[in-house]
Amino acid sequence: MNPPFSAYIDESMLLARGLYLMAAVLVRPAHADRCRADLRALLLRCQRRLHWRDENDKRRAQIIEAVAALRPAGVVVVGAGLDPKRQERARRKCMEHLLWELGGHHVADVVFERRHSELDLRDHELVAVLQGRHSMPPRLRLSWSDPSAEPLLWLPDIVAGALSRAERGDHRFWSQVDAELLVRRIDAR
């Protein structure tokens, strides 16, 4: 049997369309170092990390081409009905659905992008509730990491950013990476 995947998770929001996107990209541990090196090779001089929203379209095209070569697999949960004043509620709903979904994808480790201590604490509290209700696979080991220290967190940022653009009608980036990415749509109200 193949070793389990690690899932790297980040989110994106389209407030004007009421959407909260949470992407999980799956990486086999044996491929992780090569993926990290490929991603670091995309950094510009003095750039500490890749961040989709900070790039122009020319750079996005270069980045998405490199990411497409990695053949990303994973799941993106798109939560509709996002109330800008209730972003954490939408996050919780997307996170719950995504963690359950990862149970069917041979995932052992789940790494979320660290936000800040108060918001990460809310995530930890949700995980405790989900574990208590048996609403997430018990084998999942969750952690939170800084994207400056973990380049694999750039992958879900790029995937969520590309899908975000597709949701606004610009499919040129998403169409390059969508082959192995499942999109699940939920009500995030």
Please report, for the chain, the start and end positions of each structural domain, with discontinuous segments joined by +.
Answer: 5-187
Q: Of 181, 145, 153, 132, which is closest to residue 49 (Cα–Cα)? A: 153
Bridge partners, 24 (sequence order): 9, 75
Q: What is the mean pLDDT of each run of 10 residues along the chain (189 residues)?
A: 87 95 97 98 96 97 98 97 93 97 94 94 95 93 96 98 97 97 97
Amino acid at 100: W
CATH assignment of 5-187, given 3.40.710.10, 3.30.420.10, 3.30.70.100, 3.40.50.300? Answer: 3.30.420.10
Give the contacts of 154 (CB within 8 A, at least 6 positions apart).
39, 49, 50, 51, 147
To the question of pTM greater than 0.85 for the whole model, the response is: yes
* pLDDT tens per residue across span 12-57: 999 999 999 999 999 999 999 999 999 999 999 999 999 999 999 9
